[in-house]
């Protein structure tokens, strides 16, 4: 099976950088620095509400400290952002009740807010689109074994809406690949290749995309859909060994491919190598 690749970093600041880019992380830190600047001014100038400012200062510091090993999705994040907004508004209202701005300051502020809204809108659209794509993929997975027509409808929709996303292209291709075991036809084979090759083009560094290309040909060869393996499968059978030589799945995929092409000795050797690598991994884990 696949090795699990971590997708979450136990550090909020690094997670911002990974998810949204390093500039986004610095923008967030700059924003927090501005809040601290407001708080320090409030502590110095407003003795009446000093306890409130101090409490907010401590809360903010504690949260930001735990964020160095925390999660963005933690329940405390919601409370943090609510209190951050409420208290920052309170500080500004208290310190600058009659604060007036110049025309250029107003233009600059409007530009920053407008730019922030545009960025937020773009992220919201991307998030909504991902939710829709995940939902469409889930429906396709559910229908793939019981209703090919409904499955194809969702797969076509997902494939068309994710032309630049290797993950979804691979998922669509993989579902067609699995269908070859129940419906071994040239049309299904071509659909599986179409999406898997597009995924490989988008992400040539993922060995599992290449695994699926090879497995598609192996299934098609065994069922008689094709007589000869594709050039892409032949290329990838060599490439995956160079990309991930300590992964048992590499040798399993190669063994199945050599078996499908009638190369029994090569298939046997890869089965042996697969068991050896599995044993080595077990020893390392122990």
Q: Counting Cβ atoms within 10 Å, is residue 46 exposed (0-12), middle (13-18) or buried (19+)? A: middle
Instruction: Count Cβ neighbours within 10 Å for each residue of 87-125 and write b for 16 or more, e otherwise.
Output: bbeebeeeeeeeeeeeeeeeeeeeeeeeeeeeeeeeeee
- CA distances (Å), 41 to each of 37, 47, 92, 110, 195, in order? 6, 11, 10, 24, 58
> Read out DSSP for 246-268?
T-HHHHHHHHHHHHHTT-HHHHH
Per-residue model confidence as pLDDT tens digits over 1-34 = 444 445 567 788 888 887 788 888 888 888 888 8
172 within 8 A of 192, measured Cβ to Cβ? no
Question: What is the average pLDDT score of the chain?
Answer: 86
| Total Cβ atoms within 10 A of residue 209 | 26
- Return d(Cα 29, Cα 37) in angstroms, integer: 12
Per-residue model confidence as pLDDT tens digits over 223-236 = 999 999 999 999 99
164 within 8 A of 187, measured Cβ to Cβ? no
Per-residue model confidence as pLDDT tens digits over 48-85 = 888 888 888 888 888 888 888 766 555 567 777 877 88
- Distance from CA of residue 240 to its chain's centroid? 22
pLDDT at residue number 2:
42
pLDDT at residue number 4:
45
């Amino acid at each position: 099976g696949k090795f699990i690749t971590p997708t979450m970093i136990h550090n909020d600041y690094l997670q911002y950088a990974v998810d949204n880019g390093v500039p986004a992380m610095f923008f967030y830190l700059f924003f927090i620095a501005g809040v601290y600047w407001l708080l320090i001014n409030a502590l110095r100038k407003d003795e009446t509400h000093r306890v409130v400012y101090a409490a907010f200062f401590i809360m903010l510091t504690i949260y930001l400290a735990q964020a160095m090993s925390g999660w963005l999705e933690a329940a405390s994040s919601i409370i943090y952002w609510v209190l951050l907004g409420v208290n920052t508004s309170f500080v500004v209202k208290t310190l600058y009740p009659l604060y007036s701005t110049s025309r250029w300051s107003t233009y600059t502020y409007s530009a920053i807010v407008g730019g922030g809204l545009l960025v937020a809108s773009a992220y919201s659209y991307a998030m909504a689109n991902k939710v829709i794509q995940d939902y469409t993929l889930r429906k396709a997975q559910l229908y793939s074994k019981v209703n090919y027509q409904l499955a194809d409808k969702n797969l076509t929709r997902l494939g068309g809406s994710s032309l630049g996303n290797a993950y979804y292209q691979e998922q669509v291709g993989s579902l067609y690949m699995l269908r070859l075991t129940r419906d071994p036809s040239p049309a299904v084979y071509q659909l599986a290749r179409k999406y898997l090759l597009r995924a490989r083009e988008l992400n040539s560094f993922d060995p599992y995309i290449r695994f699926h290309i090879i497995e598609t040909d192996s299934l098609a060869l065994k069922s008689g859909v094709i007589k000869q393996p594709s050039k892409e499968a032949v290329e990838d059978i060599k490439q995956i060994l160079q990309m991930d030589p300590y992964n048992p799945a590499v040798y399993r995929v190669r063994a199945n491919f050599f078996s499908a092409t009638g190369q029994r000795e090569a298939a046997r050797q890869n089965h042996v190598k697969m068991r050896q690598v599995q044993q080595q991994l077990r020893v390392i884990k122990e």
